[in-house]
Amino acid sequence: MNLLTIRFLKMKNDIQHYTCRLKDIFGAALIFVCVLSFNNTALGQEGAKRKYTLAEKNIQHARENLSEQIYTEDPELTRQVHNLYIDCLFDKLWEPALPGLPYKWFSITGAGDQSYGKCQLQWDPMFVLNAWAPLDDNELIHDVFRNYWNVIDNNPEAPKGSYRYGMVPCVTNPDLPQPGYSQIPILAWGCLMIFNQTNDLELLDFCLPYLDAFLTWYATERDVDNDGLIEYGAYKRVSIGDMVQTARFETFDFHATLDNLKLTKHPTRGTGGEWYGNIEGVDQTCFLAISERAMIEMCQRTGRVEMMKKYERNLAKRTKAIRAKMWDPETKFFYSLDRDTDKKIRIRTLQGFLALTAGLASEKQAEELVKQLTDPSLFWSKYPVTTSSMDEPSFDPKGFWRGDMWPPTNYLIALGLNRYGYYDIAIELAEKMQELVEKYDGHAYERYNSVTGGNLGVKDYCWGVAAWSIAVNTIYGIQEDYRTIVVPSHAKGRRLKLGKLEVNYPTDTSVELNTSFEREFRVVFSSQKEKIEVHCNGKTIKSISASAAASEVMFTAMPGKTYVVSKVKTD
């Protein structure tokens, strides 16, 4: 009997105390959900006996490709990045575990960790695969997505034609049945981030119908009043908590905004149980919008016009709703709401900043959000971003979603800053993450104390690679479309090889680009009214004089050629 089982037996009559103790021991609510939801039995004993086999061939392929596909101008930084891949990913890749995981999959903790059950979570692998994309292993990436789609196709509790059809659970277990609750819906965003790096059209072709089914389920079953704002819910409880706690697991489970969550029956359908939450969350609304925006782009690229129009309508509706209902003009922040009254839950958490990532904030709203983000009395602690504002009564710098700091949310917020042009702040956020990785000898943790930088949770947690991804998309100026290059300040000497893309900054005012597939580049310089020239093989292929707030140029780059984009001094 392992340590987790012993602790559970001692605490089975006090779920709240048990939850708090597990947070102290492991620092990961989603991990203990994974451990204890095998077969939805009390202790997952059947799953605990299972033997797992590492996907050695894929791991070896990744090891061999790592030094060729990912490197920087700095040998020490390159070594640190490679170690992040090795420590966070290479012992977490598994051969299929039937019947629930018929394809290869990533777990959240490693081969040597016997205290956790092995499973494939929903949002964690999106950060893993985003980092894995440059390693030239498309089939493995397909496998991870196929595990999600297998649940849609073969969930006896959610057959086609039922209102549950299309749900992807938070946890995909080797054993059946799967849990009856979902998670942060960013599968489409993850799919697009991978495609932007690999140009793998096959991935889009087999994923888009399933992504459509999943997001359609989300937009209906998690928006019961059809106002464009998303709630939380669960069809059945997990073994360690009641239904309300299970519904909380669909998001940042211990955020103070969820303290008064209640579940009700569907307000109009008149069937089913008390499965639907009474809180509309900024977080889930933004995450769904992030995926809807990704769906629009993927549909454009694959010619799915009608599906694209559907997601354009959905995104427009969500944008209008969040700005009208969730924005508070007095405190200039986005808040979650009571579903039935639209009353704001005035607790400031990092949820509000996800409106930047999703592109749901207006320019003026974004300006106000960034002011609060960078306020050292609110969210900009020594190691930002705090998950709760520091002036909230419940703030705790090491509290689970109560003020601690998480690498994946920092990464998403950095992408939002880039989206609205706050590039330097995004770089500063990335540098703070890099400082923490260096502080712990190249290791990344699940989360951190936002004030002291103390490590919390699991060492070498899978999404620790987000500490590298945030540097790619900020310090090296490569935006999340992997086509827009924003030349950073003082970039001279930086160089990055990232799979099918190479970026080199010979000077502060020029960038060299190489791509392995045809790519429409957009290069942005911060200064105004500069002439920009694009050279290829010694010939000028484009020359423009820009007069906007930022100087930029667009051009089509062909594989195997080197393109040099430079600012040219003018009188």
| DSSP character string of 67-119 | HHHEEES-HHHHHHHHHHHHHHHTTSEE--BTTTB-S-EE-SS-TT--SS---
Selection from 447, 369, 375, 366 nearest residue 406 by Cα = 447
Q: What is the pLDDT of residue 39?
A: 34
CB contact at 8 A, 277 and 232: yes
Q: What is the pLDDT of residue 304?
A: 98
Q: What is the pLDDT of residue 51?
A: 85
Determine the Cα–Cα distance for residues 309 and 21; give it in Å rounded to an integer. 48
CB contact at 8 A, 152 and 71: no
Q: Is the pLDDT of residue 21 over 80?
A: no
Q: Is the pLDDT of residue 23 over 70?
A: no
Selection from 503, 478, 508 nearest residue 490 by Cα = 508
Indicate the pLDDT class of residue 270, thresholds 50, 70 and 90.
Answer: confident
Indicate the pLDDT class of residue 538, thresholds 50, 70 and 90.
Answer: confident
Tokens of 454: 């103390």
Residue that wins the pLDDT comparison between 530 and 126: 126
Q: Is the pLDDT of residue 530 over 90?
A: no
Share of the chain above pLDDT 90, in %: 84
Q: Is the pLDDT of residue 131 over 50?
A: yes
Helix locations, 276-350, DSSP H: 282-302, 305-321
Q: What is the pLDDT of residues 217-244, one digit of tens each?
A: 999 999 999 999 999 999 999 988 899 9
Q: Is the pLDDT of residue 19 over 80?
A: no
Indicate the pLDDT class of residue 571, thresholds 50, 70 and 90.
Answer: low
> To the nearest whole number, what is the mean pLDDT of the chain?
90
Average pLDDT on 97-117 reads: 86
CATH class of 484-568: mainly beta
Q: What is the pLDDT of residues 31-88, one digit of tens each?
A: 333 433 333 332 334 445 788 999 999 999 999 999 999 999 999 999 999 999 999 9
Selection from 536, 531, 529 nearest residue 514 by Cα = 536
pTM of the entire predicted model: 0.92
Largest CA distance in the chain: 78
| 12-16, 93-97, 289-293, 425-429, range with the lowest pLDDT | 12-16
Q: What is the pLDDT of residue 115?
A: 60
Selection from 390, 480, 469, 475 nearest residue 428 by Cα = 475
Determine the Cα–Cα distance for residues 1 and 214; give it in Å rounded to an integer. 38
| Helical packing angle, 407-419 and 423-439, nearest 10° | 160
| DSSP character string of 459-490 | ET-GGGGHHHHHHHTTTT-B-TTSSEEE--TT
Q: What is the pLDDT of residues 169-195, one digit of tens each?
A: 999 999 889 999 999 999 999 999 999
Average pLDDT on 93-99 reads: 96
Q: Is the pLDDT of residue 383 over 90?
A: yes
CB contact at 8 A, 183 and 164: no
Q: Is the pLDDT of residue 419 over 90?
A: yes
* Residues in contact with 198: Cβ distance below 8 Å, sequence separation at least 6, in sequence order: 133, 138, 141, 499, 500
CB contact at 8 A, 444 and 460: yes
| 111-120, 514-523, 548-557, range with the lowest pLDDT | 111-120
Residue ranges per structural domain of the chain: 484-568
CB contact at 8 A, 386 and 396: no
